[in-house]
Amino acid sequence: MRQALLAGLLVAVMILSACGNNSAEPASPEEVQETVQNFYNEMSKFDEMGKSSLENFNTTLTSYSTGQATDKEFEKAVDSFQDTASQLADHVNDIKIAGGLPDTIEKLLRDSVIAFQSAYQIKEKASKGAVSPDVTAEEFNTMNEQADIAMLYGISKLNEAREAAGLIEPEQAVPGTVSDAGTDAKQEPGAGSAGTSSVK
């Protein structure tokens, strides 16, 4: 299942990446590093924006599943998470990748944007499914797994771009949250921690 989901994401990334072009004057190595670092900072900011809403959603979901949270509390957490996921997807979509970057780095950043946007869109869909009688627990968890895969793919491409720009060493490019990328992170991406919860 994970391989099939990743294959689908890869196809989408390849198609959308082909739409990009690099017609600007070549950037200097310093400009390339600055561009990649700024992109990383933006992704880190979005990651932090989503953490509190996600944590509240997960906590309320667990409490609701055990009868410790009311319908109203659960609906409020779902609405907040939906709004945050939608805003983050829009923010990522609005990011412009500067021209003049080396083709390899430009493609890595573009692939990363597509993956992050996909992850947030899937999380928004999953949060809506949490209150839908037409969505089973298995379907809910599958959507969260898809978001996990998209987020991991985006992080891997972001790390590859940072490595190619000379911002980090190869051994630093490990999976983790966006804000932990390039450090000794051992946790899964923030957007995926709701994946094992059951709402039905």
- Position 109 scores a pLDDT of 95
Consecutive 10-residue averages of pLDDT for the chain (200 residues): 51 45 74 94 85 83 90 88 86 86 95 92 83 84 90 93 93 58 34 40
Is the Cβ–Cβ distance between 72 and 63 less than 8 Å? no
Q: Which of 189, 159, 199 is nearest to 37 (CA)?
A: 159
CA dihedral of residues 33, 39, 42, 48 (deg, nearest 10): -90
In the structure encoding, which two tokens stand for residue 17, read together? 């990446």
Q: How far apart are CA 49 and CA 76, in angstroms?
A: 17
Amino acid 14: pLDDT: 45
Residue 35 confidence (pLDDT): 93
Return the pLDDT at 40: 92
Report the pLDDT value the prediction gives residue 1, as an integer from 0 to 100.
Answer: 54
Q: Nearest CA to 88 among 129, 54, 137, 138?
A: 54
**Tokens read off for 7:** 């294959």
Pick from 15, 124, 83: nearest CA to 116: 124
Q: Where are the domains of the chain?
A: 2-9+28-190
Q: What is the pLDDT of residue 13?
A: 46
Q: Please give the pLDDT value at position 75.
A: 86
Tokens 């898809």 locate to 146
Q: How many CB atoms lie within 10 A of CB 58?
A: 17
pLDDT for residue 178: 63
pTM reported for the whole predicted model: 0.71
Q: Quick one: tokens of 100? A: 């003049």
